[in-house]
Amino acid sequence: MTDFADQLRPITAEEWPRFVRGMRTTFGHDHTGPYMDSPSPMAELDRSLALFDGERVAATAGIYSLEMTVPGAVVPTAGVTWVTVSPTHRRRGVLTAMMRRQLAEVHAAGREPVAALWAAEWPIYGRFGYAPAARRGGWTGLTERLQLRPDVDCGTGTVRLVDVEQFRPAAEALHEQLRRWVPGNMARDETWWERRLYDSAERAAGGPPRQLALHVEADGTVTGFASYRLRAAWTDTSEPDGTLTVEEVRASSPTGYAALWRFLLGQDLMRTIEYPSGPVDDPLAHLLVNGRAWHARPVDALWVRLVDVGAALSARRYPARLDMVFEVRDRFCDWNDGRWHVWGHPAGAYSDRTDRDPDLVVDVDALAAAYLGGVSFASLQAAGRVTEISPGAVTQASTAFGWPVAPWCPDDF
């Protein structure tokens, strides 16, 4: 098998068209749209990797420099993206070489203790130490069955449809406030807001334009925002059969949240409402007369990898006191392999190597699954992914690693 490690390298701006065409060809995307000929504003070419086969790009990968919320804190995060291997070069160790190069460079830089990605297929990334740590709710329901309970307080504010110039500054400020509480949320700088709000026929997959709404209190304070799309349709008997697809609903108060959903559920001509990327613990079900009518089909979303186990476990907070030794098995990044003493509580944490006997033995991908608080060690133990050495250690770790809010990442990359 060829060793591709030395053949991988970052691309230049002049090589971007070949790079993006190689990536789109492998994903099966059309070779149209913006940024086909020059890098997008988010692109970090110094963090790209490419394998050239003559003039053709046979493999691609990249990293975005992100900041992710973890329980009780935020951490710099390597957002892995653009990962493709041409069918002409598969099963030859190319992906393994790219993953190893990325993780080694991130670790050597010492800035990002965690990496994250969105997996095109489940089986790919587990062997490199990644694990699904946040899920999407996949919510859907029929609008005729989705009525708010009569006792729901929607406050005295109003919901206003606005253009993007009004929406963006208000949504930016509110998102910055709210994202620090939800593990898996990413910071959005100017370029990421541009990406988030960019609207075109290609981005909407040929669908209708995005609509934007703000919830505004009587004193003018914005306490919520929503973005969504309406797709009109009629049945063969001329009955309305439209679909409302929610992209994001955020609010800083329960009344603002309820008012935004009252507005969305009250749209005329819409038979179905969808919130595919919503959080798995979305509160809407608790506001409805019939919570069973709001159907969830959860699916894996953000995958996480602990690049530096000690730094990653030190970065987050723990709602219950923790004083344990984890024996971490990491076959891909040997610098993580070994025993780690973790001491933590709600105000801080510290982790370092130790020669003490372990309380738990865990593979690094299982530890990554639990890192954001959405997967319990008890569940992992039941699957044979965690071995309890000290009696009660699984219960203690499950309690300490938990978090009141389910992890959620509304930003794909």
User: Following DSSP, what letter does each residue of 143-176 receive, concatenated?
Assistant: GGG--B-TT----S-EEEEE-HHHHHHHHHHHHH
Q: Any binding-site annotation on 20?
A: no
Q: Any binding-site annotation on 316?
A: no
Query: From edge to edge, which strands make up the β-sheet containing 338-345?
Result: 348-353, 338-345, 322-329, 360-363, 386-388
Q: Any binding-site annotation on 362?
A: no
User: Following DSSP, what letter does each residue of 170-214 receive, concatenated?
Assistant: HHHHHHHHHGGGSTT-B---HHHHHHHH---TTTTTT-PPEEEEE
Q: Any binding-site annotation on 94?
A: yes
CA dist 231 and 17 (Å) reads 34
Residue for token digits 């409302």? 244
- Residue pair 400/393 in contact (Cβ under 8 Å)? The answer is no
Q: Give the single-character DSSP code of 44.
A: -
CA dist 244 and 271 (Å) reads 8
Q: Any binding-site annotation on 85?
A: yes
Task: Put residue 33 in one of left, alpha, beta given phi > 0 → left and psi -120 to 50 → alpha.
Answer: left
3-state SS string for 222-273: EEEEEEEEEECCECCCCCECEEEEEEEEEECCHHHHHHHHHHHHCCCCEEEE
Q: How far is CA 231 from CA 64, 213, 260, in A?
A: 33, 17, 19
Q: Any binding-site annotation on 221?
A: no
Is 413 an annotated catalytic residue? yes
- Find the catalytic residue in 19, 64, 125, 228: 125
CA dist 230 and 217 (Å) reads 25
Q: Any binding-site annotation on 399?
A: no
- Residue pair 263/235 in contact (Cβ under 8 Å)? The answer is no
- Find the catalytic residue in 19, 64, 128, 413: 413
Grouping H, G, I as helix, E, B as strand and the rest as coil, residue 95 is helix
Chain centre to alpha carbon of residue 168: 21
Q: How many CB atoms lie within 10 A of CB 360?
A: 24
CA dist 75 and 77 (Å) reads 6
Grouping H, G, I as helix, E, B as strand and the rest as coil, residue 54 is coil
Q: Any binding-site annotation on 179?
A: no
Q: Any binding-site annotation on 84?
A: yes
Show the tokens assigned to 373: 């608080």
Is 125 an annotated catalytic residue? yes
Binding-site positions read 83-85, 91-96
Q: Which residues are annotated as part of the binding site for acetyl-CoA?
A: 83-85, 91-96
> Which residues does the annotation mark as catalytic?
125, 413
